[in-house]
Structure 1
């Protein structure tokens, strides 16, 4: 492997590359300072684009005779240039908004886009914060606790919203089976809300203790939701209604990255991250990478998902023997893609941000020197960053990554691959002595094959590769096409020889297994 040197140079990036979901600059509007529940209710009822509701320290709780399902409610939208802001006057002494009891009322229900909900305590309601029919809204710096069901619900066609730097704990006090921390979307049997909840971000939040269900639940019919830089405390997970993990993904194209989770001996937590195939074509193309999980037991999977497609890379677990589980869960060693600095298999705004921080000596979760070295001079410097910015600005992002997948040596001359290779074209790269000949085969398990005579399910399929001739460098590549349900793929050397005679199988090495 080439040796790389990072050269410390300060280089600026365009704003578009620096962040996603950043709130727009708010134009001048009306500032409304409130110090009573009646004033807060009135302000929410009359709020308009550009307004800022400033709440003084205190406890705000509606009259018991109000009778509405929502303790505090607003139906209004800001604009891209004029957000609506509701916040505590002093973030160090936050105002507390309460429902009546954990059995009744949603505490704060917002219908509309371009809201900023900042530095509030939300407590004592059946549900905490609802965002409905909302786009480009932000929930930041809030503490949500003592909630009967879920704490934050992004629902009813709400997309491009951000939940950041919040503390969420003690949920599910009344309905533990629905005690999620953040719930994105709606279950497929819902008839009340729209399902289109896409590209929302949960970032930098602290979850737990005593969140009784999944800390983040991403529902079917959703695309592109992101969970990153969060901390999870599994204490108090009840395991009811499938709520038995830090994050459960039922949608497509979700990313879960840079998080840290502590199971803390919670026996009801069965998985670090969980996927569920609720219906055809959902639970697909999700990614889990660079997460650190402390799971207490090797029986707890890092990621689980049967019939769900996912790529998992560089996740670390304690115990180290924890594994992935799922016939379509792909364990990835790395991605090769020019410009993919954070090595997640795609080019996006994160890559120049990570490379910039690396050049400035800042800590980043992961950097790939090989992918980031666009200038090819075996060092990381301003030239690489400039070329990467240009690549993104010119939308030169169509190239697909080469995916180097996981495998293990099972015995001399035999290797077992990760699951998740079904439907893929796979290249096996082997090496031995130059010009050697290898008699080889490969095989896979089909878990869905049913024998027509016996009714027995499952079948091993063994296929010959014939004699594989190595080149003058002692390398050969074999390409195979895998059927959709292939699992437990194995590659085997039956015998090996060169011009001097028979070779030992241990003289043959599987160097890489590559797909795209």
Structure 2
């Protein structure tokens, strides 16, 4: 008797075959377990940290998907502590949600490189030599929200921004459409609370609270936000304690530092002693080639005024 061949529809075969897309919850209690989980995570997985200290540098290069992001979560008592380097590095790791943990120690807190759709939500970042959270190497559509960043820039070089978007020295880093929402940044941040670099475009900075106590003036860190990218919307932020200005724009590369809209921001410049002391110091305004919009909904207390001379308010 010959063998009878049965042909199953391709759809049925795909249902019968095992898949690695089944989401899992991975409970983690040690640094070694965390490193393993970060390396082996699959789309839809949740890595759940128990309260405790996780010592080391933690990195992942695996991505979730748009429909099934990977989640790293815990409480503020789940603390990643680095002795140098990056506390948490998402390197080419897109579609991640990092939620409610603490990152401290090391050179930099959370570094996002070459990744899209990474969300940082409700984290605490502090005690760093340099910046707190950095979207770099054309990391697009990232978000940091509901988070607290303070005590950065402790290596004494006048650096240590709270949130850093892009890279200095050129326009090849297209970390576009980053959103920075409802965070508390400061005090004791060794650079600007937020630095938006040339080459980056189209982000939104909204609902944040800045405390500039600890600004040194080194490397021009004399404001809460420095905008060197294009076409940002900056709205509904509140700042206090600055050495000079509240918000600034600069052209570091030709054609950049333009198109930003500032509205409904509230600046307290009480005690500022710098030469400017404006809520908005716009250094590159040109009505035809480099327009910046300062809406009348912005307010200022103290200082010399809402904007430096020659900048229209409307």
TM-score (norm 1): 0.53
For residues 324 and 270 of structure 1, what CA distance do their matches in structure 2 show? 12
CA 45–279 in structure 1, closer or farther in 2 if over 3 Å, else same: same
**Which of the residues 27, 30, 33 maps onto 1:33?**
27
| Mapping for residues 340-351 of structure 1, pairs under 5 Å | none
Correspondence for 1:163: 144
> Is 1:310 aligned with 2:292?
yes
* Secondary structure class of the residue paired with 1:39: helix
How far apart are the structure 2 equivalents of 1:170 and 1:311? 32
- Give the whole-Å Cα distance in 2 for the aligned partners of 1:48 and 1:206: 32
The whole-number CA distance in structure 2 between the counterparts of 1:160 and 1:81 is 15
Residue 320 of structure 1, CA deviation: 7.4
Q: What is the aligned partner in structure 2 of residue 274 from structure 1? A: 248
Q: 1:271 to 1:321 in 2, by over 3 A?
A: closer
CA contact (8 A) 2:170 2:253 kept: no
* Partner in structure 2 of residue 250 of structure 1: 228
Q: Distance in 2 between matches of 1:326 and 1:182?
A: 29
The count of corresponding residues between Structure 1 and Structure 2 is: 284
Give the conservation status (yes or no) of the 8 Å contact 1:305–1:326: no
**Which position in structure 1 is the counterpart of 2:68?**
82
Q: Secondary structure at the match of 1:180?
A: coil
Structure number with higher strand proportion: 1
Cα shift at 1:330: 2.9
Is the contact made by 1:306 and 1:326 (CA closer than 8 Å) also made in structure 2? no
Unaligned runs of 5+ in 1: 1-26, 63-70, 333-516
| 1:212–1:239 CA contact under 8 A, matched in 2 | no
Q: Is residue 299–residue 306 contact of structure 2 (8 Å, CA) maintained in 1?
A: no
Partner-residue secondary structure (3-state), 1:44: helix
Once the two structures are overlaid, the 10-residue window that deviates more, 109-118 or 172-181, is 172-181
Asked if 1:143 corresponds to 2:121, the answer is no
State the 1:240 CA deviation.
Answer: 1.0
Q: Report the equivalent of 1:134.
A: 115
The separation in 2 between residues aligned to 1:237 and 1:48, in whole angstroms, is 41
The equivalent residue for 2:12 is none
Counterpart of 1:58 (choices 49, 52, 73) is 52
1:159-212 C-alpha deviation (Å, 9 max, x unpaired): 11110000000000014422100000001259xxx5011111000000111001
Listed as ranges, the gaps of 5+ residues in structure 2 are 1-20, 286-290
CA RMSD of aligned residues (A): 1.7
Q: Please state whether the residue corresponding to 2:63 is helix, strand or coil.
A: coil
- Secondary structure in 2 matching 1:38: helix
User: Larger Cα Rg: Structure 1 or Structure 2?
Assistant: 1
Q: For 1:279 and 1:153, locate their aligned partners in 2 and report how far apart those are by CA, in whole Å.
A: 20
Scaled by the length of structure 2, the TM-score of the pair is 0.87
**Runs of 4+ that moved beyond 6 A:** none
Partner Cα separation in structure 1 for residue 305 and residue 209 of structure 2: 19
1:107 to 87, 92, 102: 87
Corresponding residue for 2:189?
A: 211
